[in-house]
């Protein structure tokens, strides 16, 4: 098993462990796929799998097995994975201190300098989990 080249906060680890524990394969692992995602930095999907898929690395994070495809491992280098549960969003978030946020804004009124100071983030929402469960 590989050592992680990223950080998983206690909140994210708790979320991942719960997903694995309450899945059909509680002895399996948390498979996280991360891809580049425009202004937000990352787009991600996850599943709970019994074993890694071909090409996945088996990464151990405090006893939690994470299965990561090669591209995801590269994108997550130096990144902090967190979990947010607020009234406006709930899901995994990714903070990359080495990536500048883009200067665009959905409202068009944020100064580019303020946008560049904020770390890039992406999230997996509970709605996406529900859609995956129905599929």
Give the pLDDT confidence score for residue 16 in this predicted structure: 97
What per-residue confidence (pLDDT) applies to 101? 59
pTM beyond cutoff 0.85: no
Summarize the confidence of residues 38-63 as an average pLDDT.
Answer: 89
Predicted pLDDT at 116 = 42
- Which pLDDT tens digit goes with each residue over 60-82? 999 999 999 999 999 999 999 99
Dist. CA 32–CA 68, nearest whole Å? 6
13: closest CA among 82, 77, 102? 82
Lowest-pLDDT choice from 28-32, 76-80, 105-109 = 105-109
């Amino acid at each position: 098993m590989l050592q992680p080249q990223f950080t998983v906060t206690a909140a994210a680890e708790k979320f991942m462990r719960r997903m694995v524990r309450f899945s059909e394969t509680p002895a399996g692992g948390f498979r996280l796929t991360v891809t580049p995602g425009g202004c937000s930095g990352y787009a991600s999907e996850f599943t709970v799998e019994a074993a890694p898929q071909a090409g996945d690395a088996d990464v151990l994070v405090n006893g939690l097995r994470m299965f990561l495809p090669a591209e995801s491992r590269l994108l997550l280098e130096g990144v902090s994975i967190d979990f947010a549960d607020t009234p406006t969003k709930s899901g995994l978030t990714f903070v990359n201190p080495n990536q500048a946020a883009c200067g665009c804004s959905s409202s068009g009124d944020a100064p580019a300098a303020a946008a560049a100071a904020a770390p890039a983030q992406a999230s997996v929402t509970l709605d996406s989990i529900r859609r995956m469960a129905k599929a």
